[in-house]
Amino acid sequence: MSNGSTPPPHRRLRGTLLVVVAAVVVIGVGGWLVWRSPGSGGEPSRAGRPSEGRSPGHISGGTAGPGDGGHGSRGGDAGTGGAHHGLKGKVVVIDPGHNPHNRDHGEKIARQVDIGNAHKECDTTGTSTDDGYAEASFTLDVARRARTLLRAAGAKVVFTQDGDRPYGPCVDERAALGNKAHADAVLSLHADGSGAGNRGFHVILPARVTDGPADTAAIVAPSRRLGERLADRFHAVTGSPRSNYIGEGTGLDVRSDLGGLNLSTVPKVFIECGNMRDPKDAAQLTDARWRQKAARGITEGITDFLTH
């Protein structure tokens, strides 16, 4: 029987357990505070880690547009992704073929310039659709659309002309502008003026020319890679067929008579986006929605070349 001064054994055990639990709680809280403290060597707090689904190199501060991919359509629309900047540090020169004002300066654009293996006109007026939509207007429109997409992908884009010159520039100057910019890729934009029934696009590649001021030896191989990537992506995005009259179904043509290619020292190709004299092709070339697809196909082709 208890004398009242000593608690029963079960009360003593309960008291001991309470003391032990309290000690464990205190030690645990203290350890957690040390783990959270800066410089403790533990795992950083969640606030210091990259967000879910975002790599440490992700650039924030902007909202990507639809289909933004940055590396070609394998992951979306190349060149439309402001956040990815897959072409950062790259220089792309776009050469919109001809000039809307060339027709007013016939004598000046007719003068001959040295293209290495021959002499040719400074420039020409270009072709047009049967209802008067000029090639020079088409090339400027698609070039401006492509510029927007390429800049969104981080590229520096240089134009040889933006409708801001009285005529030209001449074909030798067009080549020189790409060389001076130390471009990673140059694209000269055109549309063809062949006969009705001749359909589709084709990409013109430089032949090996080493004559006078022309020496394409170093750019033939990279230009072919650029042309192949461009043809593949242009076809995939626009749905336009490869030419049925040039290139034997490949959509590729090699030429040695174009000053813009002969005088280039950086990778360069031409693209004839379609035949303005064929009704079916003309219907596409005059459609603003198709021209946006053309710009996207061009952007994807250039992006593929520069990032793979």
Q: How far apart are CA 276 and CA 282, in angstroms?
A: 5
pLDDT (tens, 9 = 90+) of the chain, 308 residues, equals 434 444 554 445 445 444 444 444 444 444 443 333 333 333 222 232 222 222 222 222 232 332 333 333 333 333 344 346 799 999 999 999 999 999 999 999 999 999 999 999 999 999 999 999 999 999 999 999 999 999 999 999 999 999 999 999 999 999 999 999 999 999 999 999 999 999 999 999 999 999 999 999 999 999 999 999 999 999 999 999 999 999 999 999 999 999 999 999 999 999 999 999 999 999 999 999 999 999 999 999 999 999 99
Q: Nearest-CA neighbor of 129 among 179, 67, 196, 175?
A: 196
Domains of the chain, earliest start first:
91-307 (3.40.630.40)
Distance CA 224, CA 204 (A): 9
Grouping H, G, I as helix, E, B as strand and the rest as coil, residue 292 is helix
Radius of gyration over every alpha carbon of the chain, rounded to an integer in angstroms: 32
Give the span between the Cα atoms of 274 and 9, in whole angstroms: 99
How far apart CA 88 and CA 81 sit, in angstroms, is: 12
Give the catalytic positions in this structure: 272
pTM: 0.74
Q: Give the count of beta carbons closer than 10 Å to the beta carbon of residue 268.
A: 30
For the chain, helix (H) and strand (E) counts, in that order, are 8, 10
Residue that the structure tokens 């179904």 belong to = 249
Interior angle at CA 263, CA 221 and CA 193, nearest 5:
85
In whole angstroms, how far apart are CA 250 and each of 47, 89, 230, 231?
53, 31, 12, 9
Residue 16 and residue 9 in contact, taking contact as beta carbons nearer than 8 Å: no
